[in-house]
């Protein structure tokens, strides 16, 4: 990797996540406008790629966003990989810069609350059980059985993340919940309650990546992407090698940490893809943050000490889950944390952060390591 250009995050903008019925083009533009308001030193003429991350069916959204935002980029296209589209777009932007094809790139993720990509038509192995709640149920049952975790314990993920989301002005959720409220919320399946689930929503997040040379021209606080790991093990979740751990996350995490010469213990703050409660302990274990079966213990301790280290913005459960925007919103949160700009969510002087973003029952995962 020694021949690569260094790539930094030099600006970001995000919208409140909501249930608003707004055209996708205008959702996209909202966070890009916010980005340019936050970063007046960034010159639109210097942006040579615009990547759009979305599951929306509209075509040619990158040229459309470019035209609306007053940018005439060289590279312009949409990237889709379900819930994992956002970090896929960031990695693609990274490679355009590291390869020398571009120096400054706008990556904008956006989704409408009624986005397609929530029902997985393609996975015939699932029969009629195509909705994500079905794999989440199997994961929950499998994880709870294997490690003797109670519903009340698992509910702490939701309690913690809703609590943390209260300090995130852009979060979809504005409420906090008790363990009892979570376990007594609407039963979706035998193993899943409504408050165990992230909710699709309308939202947008934009980020600017730049080469080292450009980065230091436009900000004195660039955040560097020092580790990247990605893995796709399958498309259909019934091919997963385990329902109580995440193989693609394990492999992506190892690759990303190795690239950045870090160990799990070096990570000060992390965004974890908690599409459902059970995903948080499973991912913590698969990433090596805790031993197998001890993810909930770690989460409980963090919750009891009011430590925002994991999912400071409230995770997907608290923030909402606008599919194509999620990975970018996660990356913005870690960027703000590392810059010391995370307000009431601020973790104590983090130097190294991690983003975990995945799709479709962790059949694919991306892990990013960010550093000051």
Q: Which residues bind its own copies (CB under 8 A)?
A: 1, 3-5, 25, 50, 55, 57-60, 62-64, 66-67, 72-82, 84-85, 88, 91-92, 94-101, 116-117, 120-122, 228-236, 239, 252, 255, 359-360, 363-364
Side-chain half-sphere exposure of 67, counting CA atoms within 13 A: 5
Q: Least distance in Å: CB of 189 to its own copies? A: 22
From 267, 240, 246, select the one nearest 256 (Cα to Cα).
267
**Residue 3 CB partners (closer than 8 Å, separation 6+):** none
Cβ contacts of residue 222 below 8 Å, gap of 6+? 8, 9, 10, 210, 212, 215, 216
Cβ proximity to its own copies, 252 vs 267, nearer residue: 252
Minimum Å distance from CB 66 to its own copies?
6
User: At a CB cut-off of 8 Å and minimum separation 6, what does 212 contact?
Assistant: 5, 6, 7, 8, 222
CB of 8 to its own copies, least distance (A): 15
Q: How far is the C-alpha of 127 from the C-alpha of 113, rounded, in Å? A: 25
Rounded least distance, CB 132 to its own copies, Å: 12
Nearer to its own copies among residue 1 and residue 265 (C-beta): 1
User: Which residue number, 5 or 217, has a Cβ lying nearer to its own copies?
Assistant: 5
State the nearest-atom distance from the C-beta of 193 to its own copies, in Å: 26
Nearer to its own copies, 164 or 240 (CB): 240
In the bound state with its own copies, the residue whose beta carbon lies nearer, of 200 and 281, is 200
Closest CA to 205 of 47, 20, 53, 8: 53
Minimum distance, C-beta of residue 72 to its own copies, in the bound complex (Å): 6
* Kind plus residue range of the DSSP H or E element containing 12: strand 7-14
270 forms bridges with which residues in the sheet? 310, 354
CB atoms within 10 A of CB 255: 16
| Least Cβ distance, residue 63 to its own copies (angstroms) | 4
Residue whose CB is less far from its own copies, 64 or 182? 64
| CA end-to-end distance (rounded Å), the chain | 19
- In the bound state with its own copies, the residue whose beta carbon lies nearer, of 95 and 217, is 95
Nearest distance from residue 134's CB to its own copies, in Å?
Answer: 16
**Does residue 243 contact residue 40 with C-beta atoms inside 8 Å?**
no
User: What is the secondary structure of 97-136 as a DSSP string?
Assistant: HHTTS-SEEEEEEEE-TT-SSSS-TT-GGGTT--SHHHHH
Going by the DSSP 8-state scheme, the letter that residue 6 receives in this structure is P
Name the minimum Å distance from CB 52 to its own copies: 9
**Parallel, antiparallel, or unpaired for β 364-371 and 223-232?**
antiparallel
State which residue, 101 or 291, has the beta carbon closest to its own copies: 101
Q: Of the two residues 73 and 322, which places its CB atom closer to its own copies in the complex? A: 73
Q: Which residues contact 119 (CB under 8 A, 6 or more apart)?
A: 130, 131
């Amino acid at each position: 990797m020694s021949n690569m250009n260094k790539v930094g995050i030099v600006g970001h903008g995000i919208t409140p996540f909501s249930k608003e019925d707004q055209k996708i083009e205008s959702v996209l533009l909202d966070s890009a406008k916010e980005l340019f308001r936050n970063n007046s030193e960034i010159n639109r003429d210097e942006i040579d790629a615009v990547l759009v991350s979305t599951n929306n069916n509209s075509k040619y959204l990158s040229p459309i966003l470019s035209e609306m935002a007053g940018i005439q980029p060289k590279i312009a296209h949409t990237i889709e990989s379900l819930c994992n589209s956002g970090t896929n777009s960031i990695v693609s932007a990274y490679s355009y810069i590291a390869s020398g094809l571009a120096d400054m790139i706008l990556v904008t993720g956006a989704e409408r609350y009624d986005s397609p990509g929530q029902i997985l038509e393609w996975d015939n192995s699932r029969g009629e059980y195509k909705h994500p709640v079905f794999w989440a149920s199997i994961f929950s049952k499998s994880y709870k059985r294997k490690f003797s975790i109670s519903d009340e314990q698992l509910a702490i993920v939701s309690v913690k993340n809703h609590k943390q989301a209260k300090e995130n002005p852009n979060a979809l959720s504005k409420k906090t919940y008790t363990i009892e409220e979570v376990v007594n919320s609407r039963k979706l399946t035998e193993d899943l309650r409504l408050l165990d689930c992230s909710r699709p929503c309308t939202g947008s997040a934009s980020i600017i990546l730049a080469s080292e040379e450009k980065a230091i021209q436009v900000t004195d606080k660039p955040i560097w992407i020092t580790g990247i790991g990605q893995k796709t093990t399958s498309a259909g979740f019934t091919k997963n090698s385990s329902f109580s751990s995440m193989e693609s996350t394990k492999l992506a995490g190892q690759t990303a940490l190795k690239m950045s010469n870090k160990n799990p213990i070096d990570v000060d703050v992390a965004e974890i893809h908690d599409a459902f409660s059970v995903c948080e302990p499973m991912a913590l274990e698969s990433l090596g943050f805790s031993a197998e079966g001890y993810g909930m213990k770690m989460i409980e301790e963090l919750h009891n000490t009011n430590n925002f280290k994991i999912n400071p913005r409230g995770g997907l459960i608290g923030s909402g889950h606008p599919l194509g925007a999620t990975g970018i919103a996660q990356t913005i949160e870690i960027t703000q944390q590392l810059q010391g700009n995370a307000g009431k969510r601020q973790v104590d002087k983090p130097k190294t952060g991690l983003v975990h973003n995945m799709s479709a029952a962790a059949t694919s995962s991306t892990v990013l390591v960010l550093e000051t």
